[in-house]
Amino acid sequence: MNTAKYISIAGILAMTFVLLYGFIVGDFFEDGGEILSNPWGLVSLVDLYVGFSLFSIWIWFREDNKVIGLVWILAMMILGFFTGSLYVLYALVQSRGDKNVLFFGRSARQ
């Protein structure tokens, strides 16, 4: 579990720096238009959002409080795997080493 925590922390740090770089140096709308005009850019975005959606299913399934689950999912759709990395770290800490709780949330204890 410690390895997974280190990987999720690395993901949080990497995504923090790359998001800051993108927002500081790039132009979201201009650069986004270039991505959408490129066929492989479009493929990459569809691939990315399919991954976001699948990951969000796990979040929705794990969270007992659906409002909190919806907030996590919304953050996932906006901030991508910054949120995914943060959620994995949250789930790892919350699980306290219990793999059932890691994957199924608090309902695994019932």
Cβ neighbors of 44 (< 8 A, separation 6 or more) are 35
Q: Average of pLDDT values for 24-51? A: 90
pLDDT, tens digit, 9 for 90 and up, residues 59-110: 999 998 999 999 999 999 999 999 999 999 999 999 988 888 888 887 766 5
b (16+ CB within 10 A) / e for 74-100:
ebbeeebbbbbbbbbbebbeebeeeee
> Residue 32 is part of which domain span?
2-109
Q: How many separate domains does the chain show?
A: 1
- The structure's pTM equals 0.83
